[in-house]
Amino acid sequence: MVRQYIPRADVVRERFAEVNGRVAEAAAAAGRDPADVRVLVATKYVAAEHLGVLRDAGISLIGENRAQDLVAKHALYGGAFDYHFIGHLQSRKTRLVVPLVSLIHSVSTMSVVQEIEARAAKATDVLLEINIAGEESKSGVAPAAADAFLAEAAACTTVRFCGLMCMPPWSEDEGAARPYFAQTRKLAQRLSTTWQGTYTFDQLSMGTSADYEAAVQEGATIVRVGSVLF
């Protein structure tokens, strides 16, 4: 059984403010505008009935890993949050996710692209998930295969790629992730040129509680944090 966290608004508010402060410092150190970085709170271990505490703590952007949890939380809190989907997305669950989120971070299979095309009532913003380190245990498209994937996906005109998402190998050393973040940023820059007029790659979902400051310094526009708050 997955252990869920029961949050306290005052504790979460304080920790969230600290994360935002560190994001601002990291952005400033890289010569970036802190307003260009969004802090997404991953709520995988927060039960639906406790989301109100996050709302009361001033959190507005949350990310869900499981389609069924997204459905349950959206049913309770609806427009209180901006919802993103950040977990591995199965094609059979796509129909549940598409109507409820403003961004899907984890598109990496053509079956999901085709399901979005079939289910979406309007243009749907997605990120291409890149397996930046070539880890067999992780999903994602290999960097060298990104163009071929996008060429095939281009037939699905409702699916709008607007950036990349990556998850570097886990390490206790925050600096170990930095080269992978830099590689993802450079890939996004190249894809922006190659696919100009078809897709944009302005959004970079990079960094978690362990390494979000390094991710911001390397160009992240969205950082995904959870354990640092809970």
Chain segment 40-92, per-residue pLDDT in tens = 999 999 999 999 999 999 999 999 999 999 999 999 999 999 999 999 999 99
Give me the DSSP letters along 39-66.
Answer: EEEE-TTB-GGGHHHHHHTT--EEEES-
User: Nearest-CA neighbor of 195 among 159, 171, 142?
Assistant: 159
> What proportion of the chain, given as a percentage, has pLDDT over 70?
98
Q: How many domains does the chain have?
A: 1
Confidence of residue 171 (pLDDT cuts 50, 70, 90): confident
Average pLDDT over the chain reads 95
Q: Check if the beta carbon of residue 87 is closer than 8 Å to that of residue 43.
A: no
User: pLDDT grade, residue 3 (50/70/90)?
Assistant: low
pTM of the predicted protein model: 0.95
Which pLDDT belongs to residue 162? 98
pLDDT value at position 146? 98
147-174 as b/e: b if 16+ CB within 10 A: eebbeebeebeebbbebbbbbbeeeeee
Evaluate whether residue 44 is within a structural domain. yes
Burial class for 226, CB neighbours closer than 10 Å (0-12, 13-18, 19+): buried
For 64, the domain range is 9-225
In a domain, 105, yes or no: yes
Report d(CA 204, CA 32) in Å as an integer.
14
139, 131 in Cβ contact below 8 A?
yes
pLDDT at position 2: 52
* pLDDT value of residue 167: 95
Q: Please tell me the predicted confidence (pLDDT) of residue 4.
A: 60
CATH of the domain at 191: 3.20.20.10
- Whether 95 is in a domain gets the answer yes
Residues 6+ apart with CB under 8 A from 178: 211, 214, 217, 218
Q: Let me know if residue 218 belongs to a domain.
A: yes
Structure tokens at 178: 């930095």
Q: How confident is the model at residue 174, as a pLDDT? A: 76
Q: What is the mean pLDDT of residues 167-188?
A: 93
Residue 13 lies in a domain: yes
Answer yes or no: is pLDDT of 219 > 70: yes
230 in any annotated domain:
no
Answer yes or no: is 103 within a domain: yes
